[in-house]
Structures are given as structure tokens and as C-alpha cells.
């Protein structure tokens, strides 16, 4: 083994994303155990790379060069934010034409690469193609179509009323983009929950970085490739990675951070954002209850509960039905109907069904197993309970009357387990829900109008659906978001545009109408007149002008 000198390569030039940079290095190298000489230096931002020049210990062998990936750190994150801010400052993202071109790019991407998207979702979650299309692809396509149709109207300034104190004047509210924004998405709907916030950021005219979830690696990798191919890389980026990469991104100053995930990580995101006074949208979760009265159409109710639980990514969704509240008298009939409904949808052995998703990872499988095996609840199973760790499958499982202090009732389940809690009177369900942190969504099934009104008025939740589940997310005229523990801020439709916009107040005045009453010296007459003006009464103003 011997030292090698870099002098023959002093004028080495490197091409990276179209930019050529020459670097001069004259310090000696040291060889490793493979007799390779390694030299690392920064290439064009934002991602730093290493150039590994492999030299055989025999000077006669050819020189080989290859890229060596390095960890994305705070320096790289700073470069990334700097480049996006520079791109934003050119003003191109603010134009209507740029926003439309990016939306059309996403729309084209979804249409042309539907098969690839479905395959990635199947690799990550065993998600049936039907579910992938309905809950991921169609949702993104619909958001694009609405944004393209309404964007021009959304961008128009909103007229605002003025007061007598500013007469003569006019006013408007101008929606302006925030700048460089960060979207951190989650794994359970790794395509739609990544792309839909990005659509909101683009429609508002921002530069945006998407950090998809590493827990859904196939979709994360695909998103990175598709965004490079279909969107403007100077203003729209995808950064893959895990905790280290996310931490590096959160260390930076963003103009807004949009996070979808758990309350635990939501606190971390909010703490990091507070350092820079960065506003946040937190789309979290919580224990979403479904109250079922005894006067319902039981067959329809059961089908909609199954759709809002096991058909919804096998319960791995923030708006999934987390637990049911019903009366002791009605519970046996409901359980029997749910058992029959599960068999109708997923067969006599749901573990073999191709229409139900798997658990996303072994860690999440173990977490769900521990909830099932808790000594307080393991003997409360009345339907299902089968599991297969190798296939990451857990059958739809129903529990009856688990204790309130069990882990099953203390944390969001995010899986195919469904506890049923019984009460003496269905009205008691409201107090039970209100004793817990505010959920992302609350569901009620009843024909009782008084109960409906009381439920809407008394239960605080991010959203609410009466006599169905989850469909509120498809209504773009409704804001989607949480309250309290279940999150803050909202999006969907124009609410996505608003989430990534600053509402700038603008008042216009001419040089006429400059009343002396506004300026010193402050006389008793001026004080009377200014009081009348501030009170807004024409009669008072006339009296003040007359000296009364």
C-alpha cells in the first residue's frame, strides 16, 4: 500500500446538472483497504456528492470514477431552500401561466402513469387497484381539474367594504404566495396525501419541497422520478429520506410547513417551526367515533361502517372509524350484522381476500398485536382476531366493551381493530366523546332529528358526517382539517389555495377628501366631529358640522 498523489488530476472538470465546475486539489490521498484513493468535494447544490476516483495500486490500470452518495444534512437543506427562494424571487411561480402549466403536468402525470402508481401502492400497502384508483388517483385528478377550472377566479382580489372614516376609498384582499414551502406527507395514502397539498402550494404560486414518507418507499421513489419528469424542478422538488433528512429540512426557515401524520410528530414539527415563527398546517388524527342509534337502516349502516373502517386501507387512515358507541340493547344485533357484512365483502376467510390492504410494516404489525394481546382486551374479541405476521395481515377484528383505560381506547388504533362501547342511552355518547381529545371526524347514524342537532352542536371535531362515513373528504367545498389534538388549519379545493396564501389587505385612496379634522391641533369641535365619524352616524356628523 502506498500514498498516491492527485497532481495529475489538478484540472479535473465535473459536469453536474448542466453546470461544469473545475476543482483543483493537490493534497496527497490515502488509500483504503481496497487500494482505492478517495477524494470528496462539493458539486453543484443542493445535493452534495462525492467523486470517488478509484486507482489500482498498479499505476498502469485505468482510472475509474463513480458517484458516491452522501447524507443529506443541514448544509444541503440550506442550499435547497436558497435555490427555491431564488427561483421564487424571479416571480415566475406567481404567474397564472406557470401555475396552470404545473397543474397540467400533474394531471398528465396521473393519467399517463396510473399503472405505475397502482403498482407502487400495491408494493407498499397491498392496496387493491380499485382502492388505489378511487382514494388516490381519482382524488388527485379531481383536485387538478377543479384547480384548473377555478384558479383564475381564486387569484382575483376580493373586494372589501370601507368605512366612513376612510371616505373616499376602496379596498381589496389580495392573495399572494408565501414563498418556499415544505410539505411532509404520510404513508397510508402516500400518493394523494403527498400530491394534493403540493397542488395547493402550486395554485397559490409557491415554490415547494415534498418530503414523502420513507415507510412507503416504492411510492416515495416513484414520486421523486415523476416530479422530475413532469414538473418544473427549479421550483418543485421531492426529497426522499428518513428522520435525518426530515430533521435537516425542519432546521431551515420555510414560509409554511404542511405536515400530515401523528400528533406526536406534529409536536416536533411545530416546535421546529416555532424557531423561525413559521406558520404550520397540521393534519393529524385521533380517535374518530361512530355513534349508532337503534332506529337506523341496519344493512346500510353496516355497509357504510365497513367502508369507513376496513375498506379504508384496512383501518390505516386518520378518518377511519376508531370506535363505535351504541346501546347495550342494540349491540348484539349490530355485531351480528357486522359479522355478516365482513363475510359478504371479504369472504369467509378475510386473510385471503385480495380486496383488503396489508399492514404497512412489521413495526406497525407488532404495535397492533400488542393492542390485541393486552390483558384487558384479549378476551373481548367477538369477531375476527386472525393474524399472519409473515404476510402482515390482520383480519377485521371487533371487540365488545373494552375498558376505557385500555391502550385500545387510549391511543389511535390506525388498523383493522374496532372496539364497540355500550351505553344505556345513545344520548350518553356525547359526554363520552367530549371526555376525550377532539377527534378529526365524528360520525352519527340516526333518524332522530333532535339527536342530530344536539350532536352537531355539542360535539367538537374537525369534521362530521351524519348517516355515512368518510365521504366529506370528497366534497371540495368543505374544509378538511382538525381541531385541538387532531390538528390545525385545513385544505381541499379553495381551502388548499388559501392555506398556502397570504391574504394581503390593500386600501386605495386619492389625494382628495383630506379633512383637517384628522390632524392637530385637536379642538373640541374636531373631537365632536371625529366621534361622530367613528360612530358612523350620518345624522351625528351633520349635527357635529353644525356645531351641535
Query: Which of helix, strand or coil describes residue 27?
Result: coil
Q: Which fold has domain 289-479?
A: Aldehyde Dehydrogenase; Chain A, domain 2 (3.40.309)
Name the residue among 9, 4, 12, 69 with its Cα closest to residue 36.
Answer: 4
DSSP 243-292: HHHHHHHHTS--SEEEEES-HHHHHHHHHHHHTTT--EEEE-----EEEE
Q: In what helix (H) or strand (E) does residue 365 lie, and over which residues does it extend?
A: helix 362-373
What's the CA gap between 383 and 380, in Å, rounded?
9
Q: Where are the domains of the chain?
A: 74-284, 289-479, 515-546
Please name the residues in contact with 458: beta carbons below 8 A apart, sequence gap of 6 or more: 430, 434
pLDDT value of position 535: 74
Q: If 0-12 CB within 10 Å is exposed, 13-18 middle and 19+ buried, where does residue 33 land?
A: exposed
What's the CA gap between 367 and 415, in Å, rounded?
10
Tens digit of pLDDT for each residue in 86-101?
999 999 999 999 999 9
pLDDT value of position 546: 57
Residue numbers in the chain where pLDDT is lower than 70 = 1-70, 536-548
Torsions phi, psi for 85 (to 5 deg):
-65, -40
Query: Which of helix, strand or coil describes residue 319?
Result: coil
318 catalytic residue (yes or no)? yes
Catalytic one of 144, 318, 358, 485 = 318
Torsions phi, psi for 472 (to 5 deg):
-60, -25
Pairing of strands 417-423, 397-400: parallel
- Are 541 and 532 in contact by the 8 Å Cβ rule? The answer is yes
Chain position carrying cell 403527498: 194
What's the CA gap between 154 and 157, in Å, rounded?
8
Chain position carrying cell 399472519: 388
Q: In what helix (H) or strand (E) does residue 445 lie, and over which residues does it extend?
A: strand 441-445
What are the angstrom distances between the C-alpha of 310 and each of 127, 323, 331, 358, 498? 12, 13, 19, 11, 33
Tens digit of pLDDT for each residue in 149-184?
999 999 999 999 998 778 889 999 999 999 999 999
Name the residue among 429, 346, 395 with its Cα closest to residue 128.
Answer: 346
pLDDT value of position 124: 97
* Packing angle, helices 192-203 and 96-112, rounded to 10: 160
- Are 464 and 473 in contact by the 8 Å Cβ rule? The answer is no
Pairing of strands 169-177, 158-160: antiparallel
What's the CA gap between 427 and 293, in Å, rounded?
9
176 catalytic residue (yes or no)? no
pLDDT value of position 89: 97
pLDDT value of position 12: 36
Pairing of strands 180-184, 207-211: parallel
What's the CA gap between 73 and 419, in Å, rounded?
43
Catalytic one of 283, 288, 358, 485 = 283
What's the CA gap between 316 and 186, in Å, rounded?
11
Torsions phi, psi for 280 (to 5 deg):
-130, 150
Chain position carrying cell 355485531: 335
Domain 74-284 has CATH 3.40.50.11810: no
pLDDT value of position 526: 82
Name the residue among 246, 95, 86, 254 with its Cα closest to residue 180.
Answer: 254
* Packing angle, helices 192-203 and 217-230, rounded to 10: 30
The DSSP letter of residue 486 is G
What's the CA gap between 268 and 252, in Å, rounded?
14
What's the CA gap between 117 and 220, in Å, rounded?
10
SS (H, E, C) 373-440: HCCCCHHHEEECCCEECCCCEECCEEEECCCCCCHHHHCCCCCCEEEEEEECCCCHHHHHHHCCCCCC
Query: Which of helix, strand or coil describes residue 505?
Result: strand
What's the CA gap between 91 and 97, in Å, rounded?
12
Grid cell, residue 115, equals: 399503472
Grid cell, residue 306, equals: 365497513
Across the chain, mean pLDDT equals: 87
- Are 108 and 230 in contact by the 8 Å Cβ rule? The answer is yes
Amino acid at each position: 500500500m502506498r500514498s498516491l498523489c492527485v497532481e495529475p488530476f489538478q484540472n479535473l472538470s465535473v459536469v453536474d446538472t448542466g453546470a461544469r465546475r473545475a476543482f483543483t486539489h493537490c493534497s496527497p490521498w490515502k488509500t483504503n483497504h481496497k487500494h482505492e484513493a478517495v477524494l470528496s468535494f462539493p458539486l453543484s447544490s443542493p445535493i452534495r456528492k462525492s467523486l470517488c476516483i478509484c486507482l489500482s495500486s498498479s499505476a498502469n490500470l485505468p482510472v475509474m470514477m463513480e458517484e458516491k452518495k452522501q447524507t443529506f444534512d443541514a448544509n444541503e437543506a440550506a442550499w435547497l431552500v436558497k435555490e427555491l427562494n431564488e427561483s421564487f424571487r424571479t416571480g415566475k411561480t406567481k404567474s397564472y401561466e406557470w401555475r396552470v402549466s404545473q397543474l397540467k403536468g400533474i394531471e398528465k402525470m396521473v393519467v399517463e402513469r396510473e399503472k405505475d402508481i397502482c403498482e407502487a401502492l400495491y408494493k407498499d400497502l397491498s392496496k387493491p387497484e380499485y382502492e388505489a384508483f378511487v382514494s388516490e388517483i381519482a382524488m388527485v385528478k379531481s383536485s387538478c381539474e377543479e384547480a384548473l377550472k377555478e384558479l383564475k377566479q381564486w387569484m382575483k382580489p376580493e373586494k372589501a367594504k370601507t368605512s366612513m372614516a376612510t371616505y373616499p376609498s376602496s379596498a381589496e384582499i389580495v392573495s399572494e404566495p408565501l414563498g418556499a414551502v415544505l410539505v411532509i406527507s404520510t404513508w397510508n395514502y402516500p400518493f394523494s396525501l403527498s400530491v394534493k397539498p403540493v397542488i395547493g402550494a402550486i395554485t397559490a404560486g409557491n415554490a415547494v419541497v415534498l418530503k414523502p414518507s420513507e415507510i412507503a418507499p416504492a411510492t416515495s421513489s416513484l414520486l421523486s422520478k415523476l416530479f422530475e419528469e413532469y414538473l418544473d424542478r427549479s421550483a418543485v422538488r421531492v426529497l426522499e429520506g428518513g428522520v435525518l433528512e426530515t430533521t435537516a429540512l425542519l432546521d431551515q426557515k420555510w414560509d409554511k410547513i404542511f405536515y400530515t401524520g401523528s400528533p406526536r410528530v406534529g409536536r416536533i414539527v411545530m416546535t421546529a417551526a416555532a424557531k423561525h415563527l413559521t406558520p404550520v398546517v397540521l393534519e393529524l388524527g385521533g380517535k374518530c367515533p361512530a355513534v349508532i342509534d337503534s332506529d337506523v337502516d341496519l344493512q346500510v349502516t353496516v355497509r357504510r361502517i365497513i367502508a369507513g373502517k376496513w375498506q379504508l386501507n384496512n383501518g390505516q387512515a386518520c378518518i377511519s372509524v376508531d370506535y363505535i358507541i351504541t346501546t347495550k340493547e342494540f349491540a348484539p344485533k349490530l355485531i351480528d350484522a357486522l359479522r355478516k357484512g365482513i363475510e359478504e365483502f371479504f369472504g369467509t376467510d378475510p386473510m385471503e381476500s385480495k380486496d383488503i390492504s396489508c399492514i404497512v410494516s412489521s413495526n406497525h404489525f407488532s404495535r397492533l398485536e400488542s393492542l390485541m394481546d393486552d390483558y384487558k382486551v384479549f378476551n373481548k374479541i367477538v369477531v375476527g382476531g386472525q393474524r399472519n405476521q409473515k404476510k402482515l395481515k390482520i383480519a377485521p377484528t371487533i371487540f365488545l366493551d373494552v375498558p376505557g383505560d385500555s391502550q385500545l381506547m387510549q391511543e389511535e388504533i390506525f388498523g383493522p381493530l374496532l372496539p364497540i362501547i355500550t351505553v344505556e342511552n345513545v344520548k350518553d355518547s356525547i359526554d363520552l366523546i367530549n371526555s376525550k381529545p377532539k377527534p378529526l371526524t365524528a360520525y352519527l347514524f340516526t333518524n332522530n332529528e333532535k339527536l342530530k342537532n344536539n350532536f352537531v352542536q355539542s360535539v367538537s371535531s374537525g369534521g362530521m358526517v351524519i348517516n355515512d362515513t368518510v365521504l366529506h373528504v370528497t366534497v371540495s367545498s368543505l374544509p378538511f382539517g382538525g381541531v385541538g389534538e387532531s390538528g390545525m388549519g385545513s385544505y381541499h379545493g379553495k381551502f388548499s389555495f388559501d392555506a398556502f396564501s397570504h391574504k394581503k389587505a390593500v386600501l386605495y385612496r386619492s389625494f382628495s377628501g383630506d379633512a383637517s379634522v384628522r390632524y392637530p391641533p385637536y379642538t373640541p369641535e374636531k373631537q365632536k366631529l371625529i366621534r361622530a365619524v367613528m360612530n358612523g352616524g350620518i345624522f351625528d356628523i351633520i349635527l357635529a358640522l353644525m356645531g351641535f
